[in-house]
Amino acid sequence: VGAIGPWNWPMMISVWQLAPALRMGNTVVMKPSEYTPLSVLALVKVINSVLPEGVLNIVTGDGKVGAALSTSQGIDKLMFTGSTETGRKIVESTAASLARVTLELGGNDAGIVLDDVNAKEIAEGLFWGAFINTGQTCAAMKRLYVPESIYDEVVDALVEVAKNMPMGVGLEEENVLGPLQNKQQFDIVDKLVKAAKDGGARVLVGGDPDYDQPGYFFPATLVADIDNDNPLVAEEQFGPALPIIKYSTVDEAIEMANSLDVGLGSSVWSADRERALEVASQLEAGTTWINAHGNVDPRIPFGGTKNSGYGVEFGVEGLKGLAYPHVVNG
């Protein structure tokens, strides 16, 4: 099994890849992101203190190393977590060997709030659904749809939560939000927030980073009164900026949520479970959470639809994806 990991949760996602692969009896070659190799190197060193030599292997480097891994004839299965663009390249490069592939790719997760909620009760859950790991999570909520009847209530409640979430160096215990991992990602978030401002959207909190501050700190940013086709909504920001889009009918919200070519996660927020389930059943996503967002569980299959990839991790189905079915008939 070849495993190519991302920079946003380097150790955790590496465990998601290597643990089931080893459990199903495979040897593994891991390639961590060139942005975050050190923690994964340390993890593999610890694991290899008890594994036989050659079972778990690690190679580091940039995309050329990943490309070599994906074209290797010695790889029977490839697991990749990362961007849709790179996922497409992996599919192309594995064509010659016909290696099996599990892809967990980019998402632009939608959350839909229904008009029966208590805005203050759900505000913190909405915030962390979007801003966990400072928004650098594939299955974080990246666009929020709110009915016009309670739009101002939800917006005000979110602003109150955001104002009380300190950002800073992680070694300082009071901080709960940290920096973006690299300059490239900082520039993407900065560009998309500027596009929202240029489009006439209203920045409620954040939006103006201190460019002279060391580290790639972008303040937690909430953006209201934004069009659904604005780049901050239509493109995955992968950072601490949440656009809040107003809708008139639930059908309109579902249509907007399904309008993009990605479908990793989604969520529905309601005081009525049956009503929430009815809306959830119409969303195009690998996972839809009710009154939560991004709560993955290793016992439950997790994967995407559309351009968010194929195959699943976790659960029995994820384990099955790391072995060949073999029928002995006779």
Treating both helix axes as pointing N-terminal to C-terminal, what angle do 84-93 and 63-71 enclose, rounded to 10 degrees? 40
Q: How many Å separate Cα 110 from the centre of its chain?
A: 12
Give CA–CA dist 105/219, Å, rounded. 25
CA distances from 69 to 31, 64, 94, 328 (A): 8, 9, 9, 31
CA distances from 59 to 27, 72, 195, 203 (A): 14, 13, 39, 43
Q: Could you tell me if 40 and 10 are in contact, meaning their C-beta atoms sit under 8 angstroms apart?
A: yes
Q: What was the pLDDT predicted at 146?
A: 98
CA-wise closest residue to 176 among 186, 161, 166: 166
Beta-carbon count within 10 A of 6 CB? 21
Q: Which of 85, 92, 104, 284 is catalytic?
A: 104
Q: Tell me the CATH architecture of domain 2-105+308-320.
A: 3-Layer(aba) Sandwich (3.40)
CA-wise closest residue to 115 among 149, 144, 145: 149
Q: Which of 85, 92, 138, 252 is catalytic?
A: 138
Place of tokens 């759900």: 122
Q: Which residues contact 188 (CB under 8 A, 6 or more apart)?
A: 237, 238, 239
DSSP conformation class of 52: P
Beta-carbon count within 10 A of 299 CB? 9
Is the CATH number of domain 109-290 3.40.309.10? yes
Each of the 330 residues of the chain gets a pLDDT tens digit; together they read: 999 999 999 999 999 999 999 999 999 999 999 999 999 999 999 999 999 999 999 999 999 999 999 999 999 999 999 999 999 999 999 998 999 999 999 999 999 999 999 999 999 999 999 999 999 999 999 999 999 999 999 999 999 999 999 999 999 999 999 999 999 999 999 999 999 999 999 999 999 999 998 999 999 999 999 999 999 999 999 999 999 999 999 999 999 999 999 999 999 999 999 999 999 999 999 999 999 999 999 999 999 999 999 999 999 999 999 999 999 999
Q: What was the pLDDT predicted at 88?
A: 95
Give CA–CA dist 251/73, Å, rounded. 48
Q: Could you tell me if 71 and 90 are in contact, meaning their C-beta atoms sit under 8 angstroms apart?
A: no
Place of tokens 């643990």: 19
Tokens representing 247 are: 């809708």
104 is catalytic: yes
153 is catalytic: no
Q: Could you tell me if 71 and 93 are in contact, meaning their C-beta atoms sit under 8 angstroms apart?
A: yes
- 3-class SS at 53? coil
Q: What was the pLDDT predicted at 229?
A: 97
CA-wise closest residue to 14 among 24, 35, 37, 25: 37
Please state the domain extents for the chain. Answer: 2-105+308-320, 109-290
By CB atoms closer than 10 A (0-12, 13-18, 19+), residue 316 is: exposed
Q: What was the pLDDT predicted at 279?
A: 98
Beta-carbon count within 10 A of 168 CB? 15
